[in-house]
Every structure is written in structure tokens, then in C-alpha cells.
Amino acid sequence: MQELYLKLIYLAKNIIKTEKLRYFIYKDAEFRDKFLVLINNILTLETNFEMSFEGQTYAKEFAKAFILITKQAEKQRFETFDDKTQDQISDDLDQLVKFIVKEYKVPRTKLLDQTELVTVQVISQSTELTNKMIEKWDQKVQESKTEQTADKPVESVTKPADLEAKNNQNLDNAANNLFSSLNQNILSNPDIPPIPTQDPRFYPYKTKPKFMPTFKIILSVLSAISTILLITTLSYLSLTRLDIKNGFDNGFDWNTYVKDSNKLTFLERFPLVGLGVRGFTSVISTLFYILPTAFICSYTKKSNSNPREKYRMSLLPVIVFLVLFGAVTATLSNFASISNISNAWKKELLGFITDEKEKFASQFDSFWQQVVNKYGPKINIAVILSITSMSLTIVTLIVAVILLIVNPKLDREKIQKATTEYQKVVLAAMNGEKYEMDPSIYDHVEVQIKEPSKFKLFLMKFKSQKDKSNDQKEDK
């Protein structure tokens, strides 16, 4: 019954998303009534059998869309069919699809397509039917009627000399019309199922790790926290400035090692991160670490609601995450301890000074001790942030690697089999026959339907009696 419910809501969604069909809901009373029955069937499954999709019911949303499209001023009644069976609802669906295919030439595959997820937002955005749209379709309908009238045969006298050329042209036109008609019939044939690649029941991968949806959420959360912590750490290292020129004794004098006045001024605001990247530019560069995390979180949210992509992860954002965060982890290791920072500074300052490098190297330890005494709290914060960020990033990288290892791979044999089966269906339809696709290519998920409780049945019965009573009063 869940499969039937999905077919109903996807059909309703695809109908109102098609501008042409919105127009005919507004113009064609017969089609309008059939679409109303479709909404009532959805309401019946939701009310009597507590059917829903992803925890959301849709009858009310389609009812709102119906009112907006038909532009009704009077009150429209929507009701449940308490005596209708599942087979009858399924038959209503088939009849509606055949009606649309025949009357409005909309392909069956388009009507039953389940590629785009049904959401309240999609429904609310598919109700527009402006006067300009109505005029456009009025004109198209009129042009279609005119063309049909013009295509009627007209008696004429044909010269014998022109007879052979006319017959040849007629044969060419007949062949083209036959091909066009055959192609249209294949697309609109109600016996042809959706293409497997567009059918949510078709799972094109070799494995289906049950833990993958949860694993993707874990990776998303870890990557988000790692990114925030990484940006915080890099920003702190980059924006924290230390005056290492003034306030030092023990005979340490920068003028001995640096003659350039600009360099001496720079030492008054020396960045804790060192000489690699400085200032606001390094903060901007850290924002690039947001991109792979954003893609991972976005894909997780979308794919976990898609039966086909629920058990896999897109590789590109994970690989980019591994490369970027793996590289920055090596950088953070330079700040994982005070001794590591000391070694990094010594190497960079030896390249920074111009004179007496050997003397500077011999005096660096005493200089560094004075730096630690003066800026110890700031350096300790840098060490704590770096260690925390490194640890969480390493855990996240391990999770990402595991996810890449268990990520399902395409089942090319299954895809080939599905393609072959679908070709058999099309060939059979071209020959006026019917071929049933091998059901083993589809996933069959058992859905537990919760039966209404006794209290719920009592409320439903009470509501039904109340509605009947109100109807009788209105009739009087």
C-alpha cells in the first residue's frame, strides 16, 4: 500500500508541475473531477491507513494547490472514501494516467516519474496559473483545432503527370508519420514502466550498508565541528601578534642581526603563526575549508531522503576534504607543543635575519625563553587549540577513509540487465505484445502499515456521522 501511496502523490505532483495540465485542470471539468478524486484517494490512504512519506502527509497540500489552480470562489469539499478498496484506488490511478496520455499527449513516464522528491515546497511552487498562461494555452488549443480542420482531405483533380510524384510524397509522409506515431505510442503506452534509472525502486549499486545513513551523519557532524575548530585555530594563530623586538635583555639586540628598518618594525607585530601566511589573507584562505564540509553536509541531507542514494556517499567532497584537512594537520603539528613552535620560529627567523646568523642561533634559546615568559598564556592557548583541532581532524579523516572503503560501487551487471529488460518491454510494446520485467532487478522493501487504533476508529466514525449531519442540514 505504501507503493500505491507513493504513486498517487508523485502523480499528483507531476500533474500540477506541468503547466499544460494545470491549464486543463482549470478548463476541463472532466479532468478537474478526476484530479479531485486523486486528491480524495490520497486523503483516504492518509486518514484510514495513516499513510505518509518521510513523516509528511500531502492531501492537504494538494487540496490547497487545487483551490489555487481552479480559482474557486465557493467552498470545495474534500472527502475520504471509506468503502473504497486498494484495488479500486489503483484502478482510479491507472484510468487517470490513461486519460491524460490519450487526451493531453503527456508521456506516461513523465506522469509516474519519481526522480524529484515530493515536498511541501515543490507543491506550493507549482500552483501558478496566470491570465497570461491561460491566454497562451487558449491560443495553442485553438491552433491545434485549426490544424486538425486543415488536415481534413479535400477533393481535387490531380493531373496524371503529377500522380507519381504525389504518391511518392505521400509514401514519405506516411513513413514519417508512422515513425512519429510509433515513438509517441511507446512513450505514452500505459503498459511501459518508468525507465529503471528513473525508478526509485531500482538500486544500481552492489552493496547496501545499513549503517551508511548514520555513518554519513556522523561524518557530517565531525567535519562541521572540525572545520569550525580549524578556522578558529588558524585565525588565532594568524591574528595573534607578539612584540618580539622590545623588552628583551641579556644583551639580545635585533640591530645586530637586522639592518632593514622595515623588518625591525615588523618584529614589533610578529605573528604567532610565523612568516608563512599573515594577517587577514590567511583568515580568508581558511574559508575554503568550509566548501568540502558544506558539500558533505548538503549531500547527506539530500541523499538520506532518497532511497537510491541513501546508502552511499559522493566521493568528490570526501576526497577534497581528505586532501585539504590532511595537509593542514601537518601544518598544525608545528604548534602542537611549545618546543615545536620554538623549532619553527628558529628556522624562520634564521631565514629572516641578514647578519650574524651563527651568533643568533647560539642565543636563540635564551631569546625564546624570554618570549615564553612574556607571552606564555597566548602560546599555551595556541598549543591547546592546535592539539584539539588535530585530534578531532584525525578522527574525522579516519571516518572519511572508512566511508570511502565501504562506499557502494556501481553494479554494472545489474544496470546492463535492467537496460536489457527495459528494451524487451519496448520491443514487445512495438509488436503489440506485453512483457513483464524481471522483478529481481528492483528492491522490494517491506513497509509496515500501522492499523488505526480502536479510539481512532471511533473518532473517524464520529467525524463521518457529524459530516453527514452537516450535509443534511445544508440540503434542508
Tens digits of pLDDT across the chain (476 residues) = 888 999 999 999 999 999 999 999 998 989 999 999 999 999 999 988 889 988 899 999 999 899 889 887 667 888 888 888 888 999 999 999 999 999 998 988 889 988 888 998 889 888 888 888 888 998 888 887 776 665 554 444 444 444 444 444 443 444 344 334 444 445 455 557 778 877 777 888 888 888 999 999 999 999 999 999 998 998 888 888 888 887 776 667 787 888 888 888 888 888 887 765 544 445 566 678 888 999 999 999 988 877 778 888 988 999 999 998 998 888 888 888 999 888 888 888 888 887 888 888 888 888 888 888 888 899 999 999 999 999 999 999 999 999 999 999 988 888 888 888 888 888 877 777 778 888 888 775 443 334 445 565 566 566 656 655 655 555 55
Is residue 289 within 8 Å of 282, Cβ to Cβ? no
- 124 and 200 share one domain: no
Identify the CA nearest to 404 among candidates 223, 210, 212.
212
Domain-ending residue, one of 159, 190, 221: 190
Dihedral of alpha carbons 393, 399, 400, 401, sign:
positive
- 75 and 31 share one domain: yes
Identify the CA nearest to 418 among candidates 442, 443, 434.
442
If one counts every other C-beta atom within 10 angstroms of the C-beta of residue 299, the result is 19
DSSP-assigned letters across all residues of 194-248: PPGGG-TTB--BS---TTHHHHHHHHHHHHHHHHHHHHHHHHHHHH-EE--SSS-
Category of 250 on φ-ψ map: left (φ > 0), alpha (ψ -120 to 50) or beta: left
If one counts every other C-beta atom within 10 angstroms of the C-beta of residue 23, the result is 21
pLDDT for the residue numbered 460: 59
d(CA 8, CA 45): 10
The maximal CA–CA distance of the chain, rounded, in angstroms, is: 121
3-class secondary structure, 383:
helix
212-239 and 279-286 helices, crossing angle to 10°: 180
Q: Does some domain include residue 253?
A: yes
Q: Does some domain include residue 162?
A: no
- 417 and 377 share one domain: no
Q: Does some domain include residue 248?
A: yes
pLDDT for the residue numbered 384: 95
Domain-ending residue, one of 390, 409, 428: 409
- 30 and 86 share one domain: yes
Measured CA angle at 428 (ends 425, 430), to 5 deg = 110
Cell of residue 367, nine digits: 631569546
- 7 and 77 share one domain: yes
Q: Does some domain include residue 155?
A: no
Q: Does some domain include residue 283?
A: yes
Cell of residue 94, nine digits: 491507472
If one counts every other C-beta atom within 10 angstroms of the C-beta of residue 448, the result is 6
- 185 and 218 share one domain: no
Q: Does some domain include residue 173?
A: no
- 310 and 396 share one domain: yes
Identify the CA nearest to 85 among candidates 47, 44, 50.
44
Give the H or E element holding residue 270: strand 270-271
Cell of residue 110, nine digits: 513523465
Split into its structural domains, the chain has a count of 3
Is residue 93 within 8 Å of 11, Cβ to Cβ? yes
CB half-sphere exposure, 70, CA atoms < 13 A: 20
3-class secondary structure, 271:
strand
d(CA 140, CA 334): 71
- 436 and 387 share one domain: no
- 89 and 46 share one domain: yes
d(CA 86, CA 89): 5
3-class secondary structure, 369:
helix
- 392 and 322 share one domain: yes
Q: Does some domain include residue 361?
A: yes
Q: Which domain holds residue 400?
A: 212-409
d(CA 127, CA 105): 21
- 404 and 433 share one domain: no
- 223 and 307 share one domain: yes
Q: Does some domain include residue 461?
A: no
